[in-house]
Amino acid sequence: MAFMTDDMRLAQKIIADRVSGYNYLDIADKHGIEPLEALAIVREALESTSMNDPIEMRGILMLRLEALIQNMWEMIEKGSFKHVEAAVKAMDRLSELLDLNQQTIKHQEAAMSDEETVQVIAVLKSNNNRLYERLSTLELNEGARLALESSWTQWTADSAMDAVEEIILVEDEDGVYR
């Protein structure tokens, strides 16, 4: 069993009071601390929970809703309309929660991918500009300079496409391209 300090016990009591509906002034009076200290204790405790992990939190909520529905099932079978109504609401919330889970994850993956793409493009453009500037400082005859200027855009585009294909079409150990 884990060792619990007085600070941890106080935090549990304050959180329990907050969950029970106490405001911070009442909590401060009850425990002999300042309201801002009570707020800080609650925030610190909540920051260390699974709320930092939305997938875990959705999973916990899903399990709780399923348990709630299961607990109401006996009364539903006996014909309690109040329990049917509550169960339907819980099932709707469960359905909504599962749909949000999938959409949120897909959106987060897409947003991350878009941000990374913008950063990579910015790096490539900067790199291409610096290479062009360095090549422009070389002493080239007029024909070579014109060839460089007229071909540079196509060369950088071809080079970028080759690099993308090389990275995208890397085969892993299982023979899968990623």
Span 109-140, pLDDT tens digits: 555 566 777 777 788 788 888 888 888 888 88
pTM: 0.34
Domain ranges for the chain: 1-48, 53-117, 118-168
pLDDT at position 49 is 65
Backbone angles phi, psi at 50, to 5 degrees: -70, 0
Residue 146 has pLDDT above 70, yes or no: yes
Burial class (CB in 10 A: 0-12, 13-18, 19+), 94: middle
Q: Distance (Å, rounded) from C-alpha 115 to C-alpha 104?
A: 16
Burial class (CB in 10 A: 0-12, 13-18, 19+), 31: middle
Residue 37 has pLDDT above 60, yes or no: yes
Q: Distance (Å, rounded) from C-alpha 20 to C-alpha 29?
A: 15
pLDDT at position 51 is 60
Q: Distance (Å, rounded) from C-alpha 150 to C-alpha 142?
A: 12
Residue 164 has pLDDT above 80, yes or no: no
Greatest alpha-carbon span in the chain: 95
